[in-house]
Structure 1
Amino acid sequence: MFVHRLRVRYSECDQQGVVFNAHYLFYYDVALTELWRDQVVTYQEMTEKGDDLVVAESRLRYLRPGRFDDEIDIAMNVHHVGTTSLVIHPEFRVGGTLITEGEVRHVCVDPATMTKKPIPDYIRAGLTGRDQ
């Protein structure tokens, strides 16, 4: 399982002194980019091949607050790789404690037309660890 660590910056905290909720989707996006770089190809390489991803649905559940200067480990659990979409269950942890969890569904699209298309074999293989 791929895990990306980042540190909470002061500007990402709200008046209560905790990470503003919307930043978790930004953190997720950073971790997704690094997952892709590590296991598939760079995002630019993917779009040059004529492939792209869009978020179709996202859900987050906040269990505990993240705070300024916390190091958050984002585990990117690839839950499902279907024909045209994939589902990732991210888990956000501070010091091993689960603080936020969720589910994000992406759909593979043609970047020129933004129409849905099957997930290419190189993406499927990178995410599942299996050759197609």
Structure 2
Amino acid sequence: MQRQNFRCMHRLRVRWAEVDMQKIVFNAHYLMYIDTAMSEYWRALALPYEASMHILGGEMYVKKATVEYHASAKLDDTLDVGMRCARIGNSSCVFEAAIYCGDRLLVTGELIYVFADPATQTSTPVPAALRAILEGYEAGAEMVEVRTGDWNALGRDAARLRTAVFVREQGIPADAEADALDTSARHAVLYNRLGQPVATGRLLQQAP
């Protein structure tokens, strides 16, 4: 596997708790590195996982995970973990991973996920929308659409995002988060391919 084959690449550093008596990374941690990169892959798709799966009507379950070791990582090494969707079947998706230290390939892995009904955990077909997102991402397509407008057009989605980030996550008082400038500002909201608003900002004009 070549680094250029991966559009999604996540960087991390080996920590003290991840090495063994031989002072190399304990074998099980490589699978954790791959799983961490899988979370970054969903981020690259602009899909907030829980909310997106709710829209899609299912969940992704790991059916099989395999890891092949080629070389070892050591304490304080900087690793790049590549992740890509290699194949999409009727109800399953095959993801390939590769872990590099510089240009040296250390580990390759394969994860098979099955899309399933969370209530029964029985497999169901991969939704067409998810299939299109995965195929589009691997083909180099943009994962978000930027819409700009005034508060009347975008205020509802912008306010929802700002409340989630500033009020709920950061604890800013709700009455301090919004101000009178919203009505005159130019707003931008990013939407993912499921139509979910995922980011927002505003441009203020201080003078004509």
Instruction: Deviation per CA, 1:65-121: give whole Å up to 9, x if none.
Output: 011111111111211011100111101000121000121111111122211111112
Match of 1:17 among 23, 35, 47: 23
Compute the displacement of 1:47 (Å).
3.1
- Which residue number corresponds to residue 79 of structure 1? 86
Note the aligned Cα RMSD (angstroms): 1.6
CA contact (8 A) 1:89 1:101 kept: yes
Task: Write 1 or 2 for the structure with the bigger share of helix.
Answer: 2
Match of 2:117 among 106, 110, 129: 110
Within 5 Å, give how 1:1-132 maps onto structure 2. Answer: 1-39=7-45, 41-49=47-55, 50-129=57-136
Identity %: 37
Letter aligned with residue 90 of structure 2? T
Question: Considering only CA atoms, is the larger Rg found in Structure 1 or Structure 2?
Answer: 2
Letter aligned with residue 61 of structure 1? E
Runs of 4+ in 1 over 4 A off after TM superposition: none
* Local SS of the residue matching 2:114: strand
Aligned residues: 131
Letter aligned with residue 14 of structure 2? V
Partner Cα distance (1:24, 1:116) in 2: 27
TM-score (norm 2): 0.59
Partner Cα distance (1:126, 1:10) in 2: 37
* Local SS of the residue matching 1:61: strand
* Local SS of the residue matching 1:22: helix
| 5+ residue gaps, structure 1 | none
TM-score (norm 1): 0.91
* Local SS of the residue matching 1:101: strand
* Local SS of the residue matching 2:108: strand
Letter aligned with residue 2 of structure 1? C
| 5+ residue gaps, structure 2 | 1-6, 142-208
